[in-house]
């Protein structure tokens, strides 16, 4: 019952926000429901036992004729993603308080509707229910970007929509095929895990799922929709896309791809890791050339996600554990980065790096929090980005020393382009545009101070978060290895 409340509370908030006429009331209603959802999550967290079991399970009949059930639950892997979603959404809503949005009730309703879809994805134990959540999370963000986005938003969003719908269709074909192979004729995740598919079947199912998830993450060469979409979307939309939505693809690889077709994964692991490593270097090199700070962060995100993807496909404890902690860390950091850029844009109407400079002199508080977020992003020891990146690089190096060495360049490249951006925006002398810049205040402080606190706390003491998913990851790897042993 608690899980049903968790999933549908944002949906109730979306309906109420949509019915509210006044902008201020709509944003407050959305914030209240997001905080209530976070409080519900914390309640579940205190009752959660960090073992390999699935807890808070709901399993109701839905469409009996097709064997579809409303079956959902939370294990350690899901709990990390639920935490990420429900911590970030209140911060994203609060970050938008300084803006006035036309049809604000619809704007905040769509954010909450998307939150509900995301939670469905991260808790679904029925493949059809998972697909419903996948599409339910896509629809709101499309309208958020299309209705409140910037210049050229229609062309950019059509490209985004075509990419994601194409990926979803590949995944749907894979789900239907698995359903037809299942003697029980249902969509239950454990029934899919138990299927004995031959090498040929696993190969094409791998690509059907992998393409869908790779587009959402995104990894090279399925990434081309991302930079334009991140740049033209309103900042809350960019935060939702980068902070949470791309994690749908990473999570789905772990939850659905690896245990269902482990032989297919093993056969194509080298290709997946090489594509991921190419994405790391390619995106980092393009980030060097960016003159717009928002596009720089967009390419930085592709590079970071490439490392997470590479770590997952090593099929190692370090890779999977590193991916879990890094998903959480990346979500926190990237939301902080985009919010800082939004603050700068709201005051100066530009994110062009060359037009800025000297902001640290007139906005020291912003300079300090921005530096902390940048340090977390470049994985300085003692920040949240370090432990995940260390584990991921170790896993890739253990898989292949050459690929590990190439992937390790992300440490150098990331530090160079992030610190160069910080230097040009924050240091030096002020100019005619920046001399009157106003330092952060009000809700801006609350959001950024919270993000900085999370960066430091997770960096100094990551053990509780790692313990959440440790047993579930170990169990997942045991399932994969047992299945591979049976095939071989």
Give domain limits for the chain: 1-260, 261-488
Q: Record the pTM.
A: 0.91
Q: What is the largest CA-CA distance in the chain?
A: 71
d(CA 115, CA 345): 26
Mean pLDDT of 456-460: 92
333 band by pLDDT with thresholds 50, 70 and 90: very high
Q: Is residue 15 over pLDDT 60? A: yes
Q: What is the mean pLDDT of residues 453-459?
A: 94
414-439 pLDDT, tens digit each: 889 999 999 999 888 888 887 888 88
Of 187-191, 231-235, 236-240, 403-407, give the lowest mean pLDDT range: 231-235
pLDDT exceeds cutoff 80 at 165: yes
DSSP string, 99-143: S--TTHHHHHHHHHHHHHHHHHHHHB-BHHHHHHHHHHHHHHHHH
What is the model's pLDDT at position 162? 83
**Poorest-pLDDT segment among 20-29, 120-129, 404-413:** 20-29
**Would you state the torsion angle of the CA atoms of residues 296, 299, 301, 303, taken in this order, to the nearest 10 degrees?**
-130
Cβ(101)–Cβ(148) below 8 Å: yes
What DSSP designation does 462 have?
Answer: -
Mean pLDDT in residue range 172-185: 89
| Mean predicted confidence (pLDDT) in 319-328 | 92
Taking each helix axis as running N to C, give the angle between helix 76-95 and helix 317-348, from 0 to 180 degrees, rounded to the nearest 10. Answer: 0
User: Cα–Cα distance between 38 and 34 in angstroms, integer?
Assistant: 6
The helix, strand and coil proportions of the chain, stated in percent and rounded to the nearest 5, come to 80, 5, 20
How does DSSP classify residue 437? P
* Cβ-based neighbour number of residue 102 at 10 Å: 9
Residue 232 and residue 220 in contact, taking contact as beta carbons nearer than 8 Å:
no
- Residue 194's pLDDT band, with cuts at 50, 70 and 90, is confident
Model confidence at 64, in pLDDT bands (50, 70, 90)?
confident
Rounded alpha-carbon distances, angstroms, from residue 191 to 185, 196, 197, 385, 442: 9, 10, 12, 36, 51
The proportion of the chain whose per-residue pLDDT surpasses 70, expressed as a percent, equals: 99
pLDDT band at 312 (very low <50, low <70, confident <90, very high): very high
Helix axes 104-123, 23-47, angle to 10 degrees: 20
pLDDT, tens only, 127-143: 999 999 998 888 888 88
- Is it the case that residue 487 has pLDDT exceeding 70? no
Which residue from 284, 283, 425 is spatially nearest to 356, judged by alpha carbons?
425
Dist CA 241 CA 237 (whole Å) = 6
Q: Which of 438, 459, 279, 306 is nearest to 387 (CA)?
A: 459
Residues 345 and 227: their CA atoms lie apart, in Å, by 18
pLDDT tens across 231-274, in order? Answer: 888 888 889 988 888 899 999 999 999 999 999 888 888 899 99
Q: Whole-angstrom Cα distance, residue 281 to residue 220? A: 10
* CA 99 from centre of chain: 24
Mean pLDDT of the chain: 89
| pLDDT at residue 488 in the model | 53
Cα atoms found within 13 Å of the Cα of residue 116, Cβ hemisphere only:
23
Query: Would you say 50 and 71 are in contact if contact means Cβ atoms under 8 Å apart?
Result: no
Closest CA to 111 of 250, 241, 246: 241
User: Per-residue pLDDT for 21 more than 70?
Assistant: no
pLDDT at 316 over 80: yes
Average pLDDT over residues 158-174: 86
Residue 292: the pLDDT is: 87
Q: Are strands 68-74 and 55-63 parallel, antiparallel or unpaired?
A: antiparallel
For the cut 90, the answer to whether the pLDDT of residue 465 exceeds it is: no
What are the backbone angles phi and psi of residue 60, rounded to the nearest 5°? Answer: -120, 145
Confidence of residue 374 (pLDDT cuts 50, 70, 90): very high
């Amino acid at each position: 019952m608690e899980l049903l409340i968790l999933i549908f509370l944002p949906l109730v908030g979306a309906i109420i926000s949509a019915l509210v006429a006044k902008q201020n009331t709509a944003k407050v209603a959305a914030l209240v429901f997001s905080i209530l959802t976070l409080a519900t999550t914390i309640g579940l967290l205190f009752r959660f036992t960090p073992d390999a079991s699935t807890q808070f399970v709901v399993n109701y009949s839905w469409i009996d004729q097709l064997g579809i059930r409303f079956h959902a639950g939370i294990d350690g892997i899901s709990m990390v993603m639920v935490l990420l979603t429900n911590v970030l959404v209140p911060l994203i809503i609060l970050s938008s308080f300084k803006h006035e949005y036309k049809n604000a009730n619809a704007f905040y309703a769509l954010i909450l509707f998307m939150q509900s879809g995301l939670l469905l994805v991260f808790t679904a134990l029925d493949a059809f229910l998972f697909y419903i959540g996948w599409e339910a999370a896509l629809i709101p963000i499309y309208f958020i970007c299309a209705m409140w986005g910037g210049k050229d938003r229609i062309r950019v969003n059509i490209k985004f929509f075509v990419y994601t719908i194409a990926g979803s269709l590949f995944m749907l074909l894979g789900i239907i095929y698995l359903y037809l192979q299942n003697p029980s004729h249902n969509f239950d995740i454990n029934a899919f895990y138990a299927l004995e598919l031959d090498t040929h079947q696993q190969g094409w199912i791998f690509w059907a799922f992998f393409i869908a998830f790779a587009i959402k993450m995104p990894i090279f060469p399925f990434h081309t929709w991302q930079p334009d979409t991140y740049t033209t979307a309103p900042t809350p939309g960019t935060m939702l896309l980068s902070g949470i939505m791309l994690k749908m693809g990473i999570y789905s690889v772990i939850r659905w791809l690896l245990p269902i077709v482990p032989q297919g994964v093993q056969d194509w692991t080298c290709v997946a890791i090489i594509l991921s490593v190419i994405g790391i270097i390619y995106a980092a090199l393009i980030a060097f050339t960016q003159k717009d700070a928002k596009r720089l962060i967009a390419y930085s995100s592709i590079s970071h996600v490439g490392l997470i993807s590479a770590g997952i496909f090593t099929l190692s404890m370090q890779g999977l554990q590193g991916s879990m902690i890094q998903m959480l860390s990346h979500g926190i950091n990237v939301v902080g980065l985009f919010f800082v850029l939004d603050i700068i844009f709201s005051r100066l109407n530009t994110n062009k790096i060359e037009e800025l400079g000297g902001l640290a002199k007139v906005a020291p508080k912003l300079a300090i929090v921005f530096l902390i977020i940048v340090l977390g992003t470049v994985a300085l020891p003692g920040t949240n980005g370090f432990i995940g990146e260390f584990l991921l690089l170790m896993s890739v190096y253990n898989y292949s020393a050459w690929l590990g060495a190439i992937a390790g360049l992300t440490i150098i490249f990331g530090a160079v382009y992030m610190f160069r951006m910080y230097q040009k925006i924050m240091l030096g002398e002020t100019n005619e545009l920046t001399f009157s810049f106003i330092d952060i205040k009000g809700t801006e402080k609350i959001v950024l101070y919270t993000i900085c606190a999370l960066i430091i706390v997770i960096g100094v003491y990551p053990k509780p978060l790692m313990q959440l998913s440790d047993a579930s990851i170990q169990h997942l790897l045991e399932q994969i290895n047992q299945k591979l042993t049976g095939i071989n």
